[in-house]
């Protein structure tokens, strides 16, 4: 089982460039989300979706866009990359509509982004 698949695993950008981090899950999960992980800090929620066509902002949404046209895919777009967006990004999904229920949250392997 593939689970949650993220691409690319590594990416280097220059300030001002745009790019898209891809996330796909094959578990037919309703809930999908993007987090960033920075040293010494807990994971922080960027955007999330509770189903196709529905997205909402998390704690740190500025500089990022998302869309959810299908159940399987939830891409994260960086509009104009900044050095502050250097981080490791994780996509996660959950079968239930909300991960605050007892449904398990499944994470991808992460995408390490460096912005110069």
Partner 1 sequence: KNQVEQSPQSLIILEGKNCTLQCNYTVSPFSNLRWYKQDTGRGPVSLTIMTFSENTKSNGRYTATLDADTKQSSLHITASQLSDSASYICVVSSRRGDYKLSFGAGTTVTVRA
> How many CB atoms are closer than 10 A to CB 42?
7
Instruction: State in angstroms the smallest separation of the CB of 82 from partner 1.
Output: 23
Q: How far apart are CA 72 and CA 81, in angstroms?
A: 26
Does 74 participate in binding partner 1 (rule CB under 8 A)?
no
Among 34, 48, 64, 74, binds partner 1 (CB under 8 A): 48
Is the CB of 17 or the CB of 72 nearer to partner 1? Answer: 72
Dihedral, CA of residue 43, residue 33, residue 104 and residue 89, to nearest 10: -40
Strands (E), 1-116: 4-7, 10-13, 19-25, 31-37, 44-51, 54-57, 64-66, 76-78, 87-94, 105-107, 111-115
Nearer Cβ to partner 1 (80/104): 104
With binding defined as CB under 8 A, does residue 110 bind partner 1?
yes
Among 8, 80, 109, 116, binds partner 1 (CB under 8 A): 109
Residues lying near partner 1 in the complex (CB under 8 A) are found at: 4, 31, 40-45, 48, 50, 56, 58-59, 90, 92, 98-102, 104-110
């Amino acid at each position: 089982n593939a689970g949650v698949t993220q691409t690319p695993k590594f990416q280097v950008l220059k300030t001002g460039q745009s790019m898209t981090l891809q996330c796909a899950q094959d578990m037919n999960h309703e809930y999908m989300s993007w987090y960033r992980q920075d040293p010494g800090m807990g994971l922080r929620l960027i955007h999330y979706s509770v189903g196709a066509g529905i997205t909402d902002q998390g704690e740190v949404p500025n500089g990022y866009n998302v869309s959810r046209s299908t159940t399987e895919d939830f891409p994260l777009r960086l509009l104009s990359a900044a050095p502050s967006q250097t981080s490791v990004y994780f996509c996660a999904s959950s079968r239930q509509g909300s991960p605050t229920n007892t449904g398990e949250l499944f994470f991808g392997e992460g995408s390490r982004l460096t912005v110069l």
